[in-house]
Amino acid sequence: MLTALRRKIRFGMQRTVLIAVLLAVGIFSYAFLNLKFCFKLMSHRSLNLMCQKFEKHEYSGSLCEELCGSQSSFDNFQCPLNDMKTILFTAEKNGDLYAVKLARHNDDELSWTNNKGESIYPKIEEFHEIVKLHIILAYNVTLDDNMIRALVNQEIADDNSQQMVSFWRLFKDNNYMMGKLFDEESIFPAVLGSCGPYYATEGLQIVQSNPSIMQYLASNRVQRLKHALNIMEYIFRLDEMKPEPLKMCKMQVNRFGTASERRLKYQSAEHVYVESQLDKRLSRGIKCHAHQDCHFHSCRGLCDEEKQACTHIQQNNNFQIFCEHILLGGGTFQPGLLSGVRLSKALQQLVRMCVQPPKEHQVPGRQWAPNTQLALRLYNELKQLHQVAAAASAGSEVPDEGLARRGV
């Protein structure tokens, strides 16, 4: 009888745990399906914290006043459709979509300690010089004093160390800085304002969602080929950036989107670097036993077998990453844009050469980087295939339109 009682208690506990787990899964599933409920459950706390810091004068910036003021014109607060690692929530203002993000925390202290143990912060003019030096070292971009003041927006109150620290966090965030420094080139979402370490960018209309096995059943190859061409044009733009090219160490098809002007942009610049800084990062001499030890996400380094150290610059480039991760994808369950598309032997060969370029088609000093000539050949072949596919798709619709005109 005692055994039966124990069994009944154990079964009761298991059933309670199972119900609790199913309830939790149901709540989170509903949260992700209902983006407004998701915001109330997961992201509303961030907005409250931002406004509390603003009221205490610890945060400053134009976004504080817009989001926290009594006459706020923002509405339709939601969780993001994708990229929840970067975007906290989205909101609309006058029909425009804003994506609110939080700068990454950094351990680079802005203050120093005097002999009394007190934290000393730089004066505002000194802070401008610190920001200016950081931009030169990290991005190889030199800004004059007026541009630095415009970047800081003169929103830091005198002797307010908390506001200065939160702005320093912004300037150490690669995603924020890329958006500010390359705003005129329109390659990343435009930064629309900030509030302490929080900032808002324009929301993008994502062109291609997460790839899945259902892609093989979809009849959207014309759209996928067009998207591939647009991404290649985007990469050509990155290679033409001044003062030096930009390199993407993460490239995902569901991060490309368009804003109001319909120009293609990449949703997050978190893993985008100027060429010289990426080369320094990959060749800084860390210990290695294989080439993979020197890689940084999709950017490939090279291990010196004698020194057992990473001493070489980046060995691939944006086009190699594009061909491997965007065109080919990661296999059956992560198809690329060309998965399920019938390719000529010449085009198949060009894609293979792009992923593993032969010596005559390599960028000098970068053994896995296809050169511009190879990239242009691939672009032209893809463009021709797209034109043929588009013509065939349009031709297949003509009879139906003709029947409709005849009233059949």
Same-domain check for residues 66 and 138: yes
Output the 3-class SS for 21-64: HHHHHHHHHHHHHCHHHHHHHHHHHHHHHHHHHHHCCCCCCHHH
- What is the pLDDT, as a whole number, of residue 142? 87
Residue 235 vs residues 26, 64, 181, 182: alpha-carbon distances, Å: 41, 35, 18, 15
- Say if residue 354 is in the same domain as residue 224: yes
To which H or E segment does residue 100 belong?
Answer: strand 96-102
Q: What is the pLDDT of residue 123?
A: 87
Q: CA 176, 177, 183, 186: dihedral to nearest 10 degrees?
A: -70
Tens digit of each residue's pLDDT (9 = 90 or more) over 139-166? 998 888 788 877 776 567 766 788 888 8
Considering the domain boundaries, does residue 16 fall inside one?
no
Residues 254, 282: contact at Cβ < 8 Å? no
Are 251 and 194 members of one domain?
no
Instruction: Give the range of the structural domain holding residue 87, as residue numbers without chain letter.
Output: 54-200
The whole-number average pLDDT for the span 59-63 is 88
* 401 located within any domain: no
| Whole-angstrom distance, CA of residue 161 vs CA of residue 49 | 18
* 111 touches 119 (CB < 8 A): yes
Are the C-beta atoms of residues 199 and 100 closer than 8 Å to each other?
yes
Mean pLDDT of 259-286: 93
389 domain residue, yes or no: yes
* In contact, 274 and 220? CB cutoff 8 Å: no
pLDDT of residue 405: 35
DSSP string, 191-211: EEEEETTEEEEE--EESS---
Tens-place pLDDT, residues 190-226 = 999 999 999 999 999 888 776 665 665 566 889 999 9
Give domain status of residue 258, yes or no. Answer: yes
How does pLDDT run across 337-374, given as a tens digit for each residue? 998 888 999 999 999 999 999 999 999 999 999 999 99
Are the beta carbons of 188 and 241 closer than 8 angstroms?
Answer: no
Q: How far is CA 343 from CA 126, 216, 225, 384, 385, in A?
A: 59, 15, 11, 11, 8
My answer on whether 188 and 217 are in the same domain is no
Query: Is residue 147 located within the same domain as residue 268?
Result: no
Query: What are the respective helix, strand and coil percentages of the chain, to the nearest 5?
Result: 50, 15, 35
One domain, residues 266 and 353:
yes
Of the residues 200, 217, 252, which one is the last residue of a structural domain?
200
The predicted pLDDT at position 70 comes to 75
Choose the final residue of a domain: 172, 200, 228. 200
Give a yes or no: residue 25 inside a domain.
Answer: no
| Whether residue 127 is found in the same domain as residue 155 | yes
CA dihedral of residues 34, 38, 39, 41 (deg, nearest 10): 140
One domain, residues 302 and 364: yes
Residue 64 in domain? yes
Total domains in the fold of the chain: 2
On whether both 387 and 262 belong to a single domain, the answer is yes
Instruction: Give the pLDDT of residue 401.
Output: 40
Residues 140 and 259 in one domain: no
**Last residue of one domain, picked from the residues 141, 176, 200:** 200
Identify whether the C-beta of residue 243 lies closer than 8 Å to the C-beta of residue 59.
no
- Predicted confidence at residue 36, as pLDDT, reads 57
Structure tokens at 31: 């949260």
Confidence band for 315, pLDDT divided at 50, 70 and 90: very high
pLDDT, residue 323, reads 97
Q: How confident is the model at residue 24 (pLDDT cuts 50, 70, 90)?
A: low
Task: Quickly count: other Cβ atoms within 10 Å of residue 291's Cβ.
Answer: 16
CA distances (Å), 48 to each of 68, 70, 211, 357, in order? 9, 14, 35, 52
Domain-located, residue 21: no
Residue with tokens 């802005």: 110
Residue 408 in any domain: the answer is no
CATH code, domain carrying 355: 1.10.510
Bridge partners (DSSP) of residue 304 are 309
For residue 325, the 8-state DSSP code is: I
Whether residues 233 and 378 share a domain: the answer is: yes
| pLDDT tens sequence across 363-402 | 999 999 999 999 999 999 999 999 999 998 877 654 444 3
120 class by beta-carbon count within 10 Å (0-12 exposed, 13-18 middle, 19+ buried) = exposed
Considering only residues 77 and 230, tell me which one the structure prediction assigns the higher pLDDT.
230
Residues 155 and 66: beta-carbon distance below 8 Å: no
Q: Is the domain of 119 the same as that of 189?
A: yes
Task: Please say whether the beta carbons of 200 and 194 come within 8 A.
Answer: yes
Angle between helices 345-355 and 372-406 (to 10 degrees): 140
Tell me how far apart the terminal alpha carbons of the chain are, to the nearest angstrom.
79
